[in-house]
Amino acid sequence: THFGFRDVPVGEKQKLVGEVFSSVAGKYDLMNDLMSFGIHRVWKRYFVATAQVRRGDRVLDLAGGTGDIALLLRDRVGETGGIVLGDINGEMLRVGRDRMTDLGRVAGFEYVQLNAEKLPFPDASFDLVTIAFGLRNVTDKDAALREMHRVLKVGGQARVLEFSEVKTDWFKPLYDFHSFKVMPTLGRLFANDRDSYQYLAESIRKHPPQEELKAMMEAAGFARCGYRNLSAGICAIHTGYRV
Ligand code: SAM
């Protein structure tokens, strides 16, 4: 079903995360550009450009939100491939689906409202599973990683793009100032919502740093786990394989 959302019950806790994203959904794309000076577009392009994927593949993009990653992946899988865009928040999915429709990109996308902790797909369903700026928001990250592993085919790759730990000393104070002063202020000015952006800055700092996330992926069953820092470690791309 290209236009229907499959109905999957989501828990109370998830609803809270859901609400944060409902309140930011409409402004989400603008805010990303403002807060990252547009650099998130480059991170996302790099994330997809270096993915292990080919024509005809079936890909799951978790926490897909407004569809940036799905849109980039679409060109990699071609006419014969397909992208499942999964997100817990119906409002984000709706913004994403409207945006795809406006761009004339309809075929080959499926939208599924789901919780990454408990995926409504059989084992070995996908050639590639991605999650960009989403794992941070998932309550039980270990469960989500195990589920990503479960739904991958043998030989398939999991890719996680997420904020990580800045590794360059001189940059740290600037980064702190940006996170805790600039971001909430931009949130107040442009989205009339200081709290959601305060939450965002805090969730970035709480997320497990490079080595810790790598160990979590190994514990979830992934083989050949590794990562690559982007922009001094503001973000990192973690990869793992099902073997
Ligand atoms: N991937 C998109 C991007 O890079 O622009 C969206 C990222 S957005 C910061 C995070 C998304 O994660 C939101 O759309 C939110 O609804 C979703 N999310 C949060 N918890 C989730 C969960 N447990 N399962 C699935 N999606 C979740």
| Residues 238 and 218 sit within 8 Å (Cβ to Cβ) | no
| ipTM associated with this complex | 0.98
Ligand 1 site, CB within 6 A: 14, 17, 21, 62-66, 68-69, 87-89, 92, 115-117, 132-134, 137-138
pLDDT of 152 above 60: yes
218: which residues sit within 8 A by CB, 6+ positions away? 225, 240
Binding residues for S-adenosyl-L-methionine: 66, 87, 115-116
Give the position of tokens 């980064």.
175
Q: Quick one: what percent of the chain has pLDDT higher than 90?
A: 79
Nearest partner of 114 among 77, 71, 154, 85, judged by Cα: 85
When pLDDT is averaged across residues 173-198 and rounded to a whole number, the result is: 91
179: which residues sit within 8 A by CB, 6+ positions away? 201, 204, 205
Measured from the Cα of 64, ligand 1's closest atom is 1
pLDDT for the residue 11: 61
Residues 144, 148, 149, CA angle at the centre, nearest 5°? Answer: 120
pLDDT digits (tens, 9 = 90+) for 154-170: 999 999 999 999 999 99
pLDDT of 137 above 70: yes
Two tokens, residue 105: 């990109």
Q: Say how many Å lie between the CA of residue 64 and the centre of ligand 1.
A: 6
pLDDT of 15 above 80: no
pLDDT digits (tens, 9 = 90+) for 25-82: 777 788 889 999 999 999 999 999 999 999 999 999 999 999 999 999 999 999 999 9
50: which residues sit within 8 A by CB, 6+ positions away? 237
Q: Say how many Å lie between the CA of residue 170 and the centre of ligand 1.
A: 31
Structural domains in the chain plus CATH codes = 12-166+208-241 (3.40.50.150)
Band of pLDDT at residue 111, cut at 50, 70 and 90: very high
Measured from the Cα of 116, ligand 1's closest atom is 24
Mutate to test the pocket of ligand 1, among 45, 87, 136, 203 (most ligand atoms within 8 A of CB): 87
